[in-house]
Structure 1
Amino acid sequence: MLVNGGGNLGDLYAGQQGTRLEILRSLRDNRIIQLPQSIHFANPENAQAMAQLISEHGGFELMVRERKSLRLAKDLLGLDATLSPDHALALGSLDGSHAPTRSVLWLARRPGDPEYVPYDEPSDARVTRMEWLEGVSDSERDWDRRGRLALRFNGAAKNRRLRGPESRLWKTRAAYRALSMTYPVLARRWVARGVGILTDAEVVITDKLHGHIMCVLLGKEHIVLDNSYGKVSGTLDAWTGTLPGVHRATDGRDAMEQAVAILESR
């Protein structure tokens, strides 16, 4: 079994971690490969509980994205993990030829996000503030017919398999196969949506790991701020920090000064 990668191995995201623990409990005869993750435990007892499940399972293999997570895997979970870049980098070069209509995009986490850092966003008319799922229209009107159908079927399937008289039908293998066919369609369109957001700005400031990675793939100059526990800076340290167009900042003022310098140099 392959478990999708991300930044949720630990105790910041109860839903994703709960699913991972349930897999360890219930699929004892399966080899489980956790695709590249970042590790963060605020409570050592939660790390101990996961380490116990991993030990009892005996077939759990872990890939991590930064050297800090590599150390935590050994120290907290008793695992010799594999260091691997985030698999979004496997998308390869993306088309960044769209003519921007904005000067600076501030793509960052909002208060309430467990990885939020208060970076004192600059009050500058040239800055457009956005989060991946906020400040952007989620209208289906810009999607093609196939994408709209996949989105609607995906939502309907997930709702029906959780409740209602038809829920048993949606727990069959055939239903799950049909549901799984929607994900590649949706994934391609979500990537296209992200590309559209990033290419619409001349310069991007972000504390989002995949905001940074997509800017790298687009060849777009951008300024990177860290998240609350260092997974973004860890990725730069291990893989991407020396690539062209990647700039680091320590706070909002520093980031904006660098963005203005880039704009004025053009």
Structure 2
Amino acid sequence: MTSNRTELYQTFLSALSPLKDIKTCILIDCPNHLNIGDHLIWLGTLLYLQDISKTHITQITTSDDLNPDHLSQTPHQPILFHGGGNLGDLWQHYQQIRETVISQNKHRPIYILPQTIYFRDPQNLDIAKQAFNAHPNLTLFCRDSISYTLAQQHFYNCKLILAPDMALQLLNPTYQLSDLYHPTQSPYPLYLKRRDQEDTQTLSNILTNALSQHCQIEDWTSLNLKSPFLLIRKVLSHAPLPDISRHPIYRKIQHLPTPSQQNLTANLLYLGIQQFSQYPLIITNRLHGHILSLLLQRPNILLPNSYPKNQAFYNTWTHPDPDSHFCETPEQLLQSLNISTPSI
């Protein structure tokens, strides 16, 4: 591991150190979809709680399966919310569940693991502010400096901590990600392009046109599969794929609650690594395309998404990495690739 990555991992461990006091916990918002990025965050969380904080996870629940009666069975146990980029009103379903649980559980400590914060509507920010500030023991880990500043302005009754993404627990060299990495080099870069509301349509259309003859353009391989979503999720959660089943990471998580969820996470890690193994360069507007490239020490170029999440994370944490770069405009990217700019 290079000195930059070693330093980043030490920063990560230092920022997350308040979690070391948690002996048992309930973990909420396990991802039950096929976005590899959220599963990288989830896996990093599971590994951190087991290997670093030595926290016993008594319950794991998705947002859809959350049952208040189950929470009430352990009224004083701390609650940890999965981190990511859904604290705000862009993905409002998750935020509403978060606010409800916080409002109904003022008697116990609650921790929100590293999140990017973004609200389009000030009224929704006010609702979050009321719920968060009414809780007497709420810790909010902010995933970038912009989110941290916003939290200081609005979530004044919370304990606020600036901390990197939980997926960076995978920088721990004992996890041997390289054992899953089998390069089969393509001559072309991969343009890992998201296709949801965080995509920047104008930039994306320009780059798709400009890069179509120079890159392989696709989203996460798990989202490109043609079979129905529920069938793919069922297949991937049924059992670990052969290579991942023999890996130390899988052995660390296979005994946890909801084993089918952990199978899904382990298999998606494997699929993401195999996808990236094919390309000499990763170009992406997905933050965890950038983070997985960092974990695998792959050259990568991060692009903006629809709000400042990507650039804020890069500027806060990963800009020292020599293999990682950020391009804000199509012209910057095409110049770096020595591709002429198309007529617009």
Is TM > 0.5 for Structure 1 vs Structure 2? yes
Q: Counterpart of 2:95?
A: 17
Q: Counterpart of 2:299?
A: 221
Using a 3 Å threshold, how does the CA distance of structure 1 residues 206 and 73 change in structure 2: closer, same or farther? same
Q: Counterpart of 2:212?
A: 124
Q: Report if aligned partners of 2:84, 2:115 keep a CA contact under 8 Å in 1.
A: yes
Note the 1:152-167 alignment, pairs <5 A. none
Q: Counterpart of 2:310?
A: 232
Q: Secondary structure at the match of 1:202?
A: coil
Q: Counterpart of 1:88?
A: 167
Mapped to 2, the partners of 1:134 and 1:184 lie a distance apart of 18
Offset, 1:123: 4.1
Q: Counterpart of 1:161?
A: none
Match of 1:68 among 143, 146, 161: 146
Q: Secondary structure at the match of 1:35?
A: strand
Q: Counterpart of 2:191?
A: 106
Q: Report if aligned partners of 2:301, 2:324 keep a CA contact under 8 Å in 1.
A: yes
Mapped to 2, the partners of 1:17 and 1:241 lie a distance apart of 29
Cα-Cα RMSD = 2.7
Q: Secondary structure at the match of 2:304?
A: coil
| Structure 1 residues 173-219: Cα deviation after superposition (integer angstroms, max 9, x where no partner) | xxxx9962222222111111111111211111111111000101111
The number of equivalent residue pairs is 231
Q: Report if aligned partners of 2:302, 2:325 keep a CA contact under 8 Å in 1.
A: yes
Q: Counterpart of 1:26?
A: 104
How high is the sequence identity, in percent, across the aligned residues?
27
Q: Does 1:77 align with 2:155?
A: yes
Q: Does 1:135 align with 2:224?
A: yes
Offset, 1:150: 4.8
Q: Report if aligned partners of 2:237, 2:262 keep a CA contact under 8 Å in 1.
A: no
Structure-2-length-normalised TM-score? 0.61
Using a 3 Å threshold, how does the CA distance of structure 1 residues 60 and 252 change in structure 2: closer, same or farther? same
Offset, 1:139: 9.3
Using a 3 Å threshold, how does the CA distance of structure 1 residues 22 and 201 change in structure 2: closer, same or farther? same
Structure 2: stretches of 5+ with no match in the other structure: 1-78, 241-254, 340-344
Q: Report if aligned partners of 2:88, 2:95 keep a CA contact under 8 Å in 1.
A: yes
Offset, 1:99: 2.0
Offset, 1:260: 5.0
Q: Does 1:209 align with 2:298?
A: no
Q: Secondary structure at the match of 2:194?
A: coil
Structure-1-length-normalised TM-score? 0.78
Q: Secondary structure at the match of 2:199?
A: coil
Q: Does 1:37 align with 2:125?
A: no
Q: Secondary structure at the match of 2:147?
A: helix
Mapped to 2, the partners of 1:139 and 1:49 lie a distance apart of 36
Q: Counterpart of 1:158?
A: none
Structure 1: stretches of 5+ with no match in the other structure: 152-176, 262-266
Offset, 1:55: 2.2
Using a 3 Å threshold, how does the CA distance of structure 1 residues 253 and 137 change in structure 2: closer, same or farther? farther
Q: Report if aligned partners of 2:88, 2:117 keep a CA contact under 8 Å in 1.
A: yes
Q: Secondary structure at the match of 1:81?
A: strand
Q: Counterpart of 1:188?
A: 266
Q: Secondary structure at the match of 2:217?
A: strand
| Structure 1 residues 129-188: Cα deviation after superposition (integer angstroms, max 9, x where no partner) | 111254346699xx9xx955259xxxxxxxxxxxxxxxxxxxxxxxxx996222222211
Q: Give 4+ residue runs of structure 1 displaced > 6 Å after superposition.
A: none
Q: Secondary structure at the match of 1:39?
A: strand
Q: Report if aligned partners of 2:237, 2:263 keep a CA contact under 8 Å in 1.
A: no
| Structure 1 residues 210-231: Cα deviation after superposition (integer angstroms, max 9, x where no partner) | 1000101111111111222211
Using a 3 Å threshold, how does the CA distance of structure 1 residues 139 and 217 change in structure 2: closer, same or farther? farther
Q: Secondary structure at the match of 2:280?
A: strand
Mapped to 1, the partners of 2:111 and 2:256 lie a distance apart of 24
Using a 3 Å threshold, how does the CA distance of structure 1 residues 260 and 195 change in structure 2: closer, same or farther? farther
Offset, 1:25: 2.1
